[in-house]
Structure 1
Amino acid sequence: MGLSLTVLGCATPYPSTDNPCSGYLVSHGDTRVWMDAGTGTLGPLQRHTRLEDLDAIWISHLHADHSADLLTTYYALLFADVERDPIPLYGPPGIADRLAGFLTNGPQRSPVESAFAVTELRDGLDTTVGSMRLTTAAVEHGIPAFGVRIEAAGRSLTYSGDTAPCPSLTELARGTDVLLCESESAEKTPDMAHHTPEDAGETAASSGAGRLIVTHVGRFLTTREAVTRASSRYTGPVDHAAPGATFTIG
């Protein structure tokens, strides 16, 4: 089985009736990584894998539309019918204390580390999860935020997380087979913390990506508009990360 990407959801900043917030399952062979755990993504995740079989969770940043379902995952792991060791969790600095801040309801801090084996992300972190290599780069979102390049069997997927266009993302995506890039902003603003669709196209073109998948499309854009506008700056194939879709990498 090759490297694949399954879209659990891509809505922002809140889920719609048929689209959870940001979340993706990346698979290669028996290795499975849940990439961002936005609101509502735990449900569709279970159509494709059990929590018992998940190898890791990777979180780009701590905005709720990318991380909120870690809270319900905590309850599943410690107080329900899931039996396994703590799931390796890769997330921004302070992620364990942030989760504990939501989960603690008394004088004793909730045992977040009993559910998650936490590794804090940093720029340049290079790690292996099963058959996958994950390389992390800091990106520009106004808070600690990261993109990731996932490689397996000679194929690569690069995910922007949420970010304004930045050299670190372009370099991370250099020559990647697929760039999964957010396209939230309908237009440029002086304090942008996101890509416009045109920006996504330019990042794909500048990095030499083989294929662009636009995701996290803002509420003031249609998915068709996002694809069309991204295509005006990038001559390769452009798709939308429709919820439920699975893409084969390479």
Structure 2
Amino acid sequence: MDLGLTVLGCATPYPTADIPCSGYLLTHDDTRVWMDAGTGTLGPLQRHTRLEDLDAIWISHLHADHSADLLTTYYALLFADVSRPPVPLYGPPGIAERLAGFLTNGPVRSPVEDAFAITELRDGHEVAVGSMVLTTAAVEHGMPAFGVRVEAGGRSLTYSGDTAPCPRLTALAERTDVLVCEAESTTPNAVHHTPEDAGETAATAGVKRLVVTHVGRSLTPEEAAVRASARYAGPIDHAVPGATFTAG
């Protein structure tokens, strides 16, 4: 089976009527990893996999449009019809206390560790999840934030998270089969890629295919892909909910 990424949502900074915020499902063989849990992504996730079958959750950073659905996932895992051990959760430093701060409603701290087996990410963190190997790199977003390279079956897929162009992301994505890169900003800044920046990162890293995602609301995804093509000559796609991209 190919290494695949299914788009659950890609809106920023809040969902539209039809598009949830950032969230993706990684698949290879029987391995399932939910990558970013932005607002509204828990619903479409269940079109593709059950929470019981998730092998892990990976969170790039703690802005709500990338992590808010962890809150409702907590309730699903502990207080509904889901029966399973805690889900391995890989996220930025402080993620456990951030979740507990939102979920605690009295003098006793909510038992977030009963729902999630939490590991804090760091630059260079590497972990095997089922048939996948996930390698994390710190990126530039004005807060603790990470990109990830996923390798399985001799193929690779790299996800930028939210970041300005930076050497760590370029190195992480070097010669990857698919780069899924945010393109939120219309003008260069210190915390996001523009579409042109996404094309430049893809070209410099020598990637085989670029997928622009998390496009700012003043652009259409199609416009972002066209702008990215000014800097990258390879194949370019854009993320839409339900689309699946394979590194094959």
Q: TM-score, normalised by structure 1?
A: 0.99
Aligned to 2:64: 64
2:242 corresponds to 1:244: yes
Tell me if 1:96 matches 2:92.
Answer: no
1:74-112 deviations in Å (ceiling 9; x for gaps): 000000000000000000000000000000000000000
Query: Within 5 A, what are the aligned runs for 1:100-249?
Result: 100-189=100-189, 192-249=190-247
Which runs of 5 or more residues in structure 1 are unaligned? Answer: none
2:26 aligned with 1:6: no
Q: CA deviation at 1:224?
A: 1.5
AA in 1 matched with 2:134: L
SS in 2 for 1:21: coil
- Deviation, 1:181, is 0.1
Unaligned runs of 5+ in 2: none
Shift of 1:55: 0.2
When the two structures are aligned, how many residues end up with a matched partner?
A: 248
Asked whether the 8 Å contact 2:10–2:21 carries over to 1, the reply is yes
Query: Residue 249 of structure 1: CA displacement?
Result: 1.2
Return the offset for 1:221.
1.0
Give CA deviations for 1:205-225 in whole Å, capped at 9, x if unaligned: 000000000000001111121
Q: Which amino acid aligns with 1:88?
A: P
Counterpart code for 2:111: P
TM-align CA RMSD: 0.5
Per the TM alignment, residue 141 of structure 1 is displaced from its structure 2 partner at its CA by: 0.1
Structure 2: distance between partners of 1:22 and 1:188: 21
Establish whether residue 25 from structure 1 lines up as the match of residue 21 from structure 2. Answer: no
In the TM superposition, what is the alpha-carbon distance from 1:3 to its structure 2 partner? 0.6
Q: Structure 2 counterpart of 1:212, which letter?
A: L
Matched-pair identity in %? 80
TM score, norm. by length of structure 2: 0.99
1:185-210 CA-to-partner distances (Å, cap 9, x unmatched) read 01124xx2000000000000000000
Q: Secondary structure, in 3 states, of the residue corresponding to 1:14?
A: coil
